Amino acid sequence: MLSREDNELICRVGPGTPMGNLMREYWVPALLSKELPGPDCDPVRVMLLGERLIAFRDTLGRVGLIQNHCPHRGASFFFGRTGECGIRCVYHGWQFDINGNCIDMPNEPAESDFRHKVKAVTYPCVERGGLVWTYMGPRETPPPLPDIEINMLPEDEIAIIPSYVESNWLQAVEGEIDTSHTGFLHFGSIQPEDVEEGTFLHYTVKDRAPKYSVVDTEYGTMYGAYRPAKPGYVYWRIAHFNFPFYTQPPEGALGHSVIMNAWVPMDDTHTMSYVMVRKGKSETGRPARLPIQGDSEKYPDMHVPMLPNTSGWFGRFRPAVNATNDYLIDRDVQRNGDDYSGIQYLASQDRAVQESMGGIYDRTQERLASSDVMVIRVRRRLLGAARALAEKAVIPPGVDNPEVYRNRSGGVLLPEGADWIEDTKELRQAFVEHPEIAEQQPQP
């Protein structure tokens, strides 16, 4: 468990906080490119690291991210007029470009040079892989973007699934790096005899208490969760935490699966999730819900339904299955054993437990066990990096070394006694194709 002081330090991300300052050292996903569909389109409200910002696309197609309040009298730029390579406050017509320069002040005398003395806070933006990235840190020249494989592929090969999570960012990250919950929350009602022998799912439900090996890396932390497989072999689930808030879950076969999940803090108690996967047989590369025995028509394999977006600060990409309807839990399905949780969708199952902890869970109340070793190690790394930056100005891991993000995750069978780190080195390398891997191992 964490002390109260450490729990506050690791969870709070607003301006001036140690963890907020750490995250501002990195490029951060701000929104999807398609949310700004064309030059001079409607502005979008964006809550990011505790700051209220307005995203807009100018006449040349460039993206700007500007402070919410006009520097003149504080009216919101959300109501602004886009055009003429800027955004114009409708209160008095002051216009600003994507760099925060005031380029027109029509209610002042023509001979006035006052506009040259007024500047709005803006953050530089770049687009890559369907995402708008922004740098909110102190450097005049930002660091390079991270070499995240999935974000560097052609856009037609990428599926991005955005989703609003009503909890602190760390609860979402910790849910993703906790591999033992898979055999319960998601697969708890599936028995070994219900699935094909030799599949990853078979090994998972046959032994729901894996052992762990965890190591620190240049980019964060890596774990290998292992359990017995066919005679003479061990099934390994290898996954990563990447600074400051990325996870690569062990979905699919190691060497074939290309995935990265970003858990971007909107503020201390709201998170925007971006699941980025390489398109495959399904749009997302992952099942929207897990298989159950029984009525497949009642629980179809489909995406979590979403509510229509609104223009509010927390109005984007909200799941229709949420706390207000108890995540549509079906107690009959839960009781009769068709589904362990009784909640239909995989993502909704995760969201239900993470959001049920509250906005920021009081980790002084935890009782951690051996299965929480990855959670413990990641917390130590985050706290250590935040304190090193605050106290000694040590640049956090990966900021200036984009190549350290070139990793893959997934499941793999290794002979008993194998060195899991050395023997998976090639399979864990990004941008290396292994066409034979996809057909070797049946997937759940």
Domain residues of the chain, as ranges?
27-141, 150-440
Q: Given this model, what pLDDT does residue 437 score?
A: 81
- What letter represents residue 228's amino acid? P
Assess contact for 418 and 424: CB atoms under 8 A: no
Average pLDDT over residues 376-405: 98
209 contacts 202 by C-beta, under 8 angstroms: no
pTM for the full model? Answer: 0.93
3-class state of residue 404 by DSSP:
helix
CATH code of 27-141, in short, is: 2.102.10.10
User: Distances from the Cα of 310 to the Cαs of 4, 45, 133, 314, in angstroms?
Assistant: 36, 10, 22, 8
pLDDT value of residue 288: 38
Question: What average pLDDT does the segment 386-412 reach?
Answer: 98
pLDDT on residue 299: 36
SS3 57: strand
For residue 334, what are its two tokens?
């839960």
Q: Among residues of the chain, what percentage have pLDDT more than 70?
A: 93
User: How is residue 140 annotated by DSSP?
Assistant: S
How many residues make up the chain in this entry?
444
Whether the CB-CB separation of 192 and 353 falls below 8 Å is answered with no
**Mean pLDDT within 261-266:** 98
Least confident of 150-164, 227-241, 290-304, 420-434: 290-304
Average pLDDT, rounded, for the chain: 93
Let me know if 437 is exposed, middle or buried by CB neighbors in 10 A (0-12, 13-18, 19+): middle
As a whole number of angstroms, the distance between CA 397 and CA 7 comes to 21
Q: For residue 287, is pLDDT > 60?
A: no
Read off the pLDDT of residues 363-385 as tens digits, 9 standing for 90 and up.
Answer: 999 999 999 999 999 999 999 99
* pLDDT top residue among 11 and 285: 11
pLDDT of residue 205: 93
- Over residues 141-193, the pLDDT tens digits come to 999 999 999 999 999 999 999 999 999 999 999 999 999 999 999 999 999 99
Q: What pLDDT is recorded for position 440?
A: 54
pLDDT confidence tier of residue 198, bands split at 50, 70 and 90: confident
For the chain, what percentages of helix, strand and coil (3-state, to nearest 5) are there?
Answer: 25, 25, 50
pLDDT at 62: 98
Contact 338, 292 (CB under 8 A): yes
pLDDT band at 12 (very low <50, low <70, confident <90, very high): very high
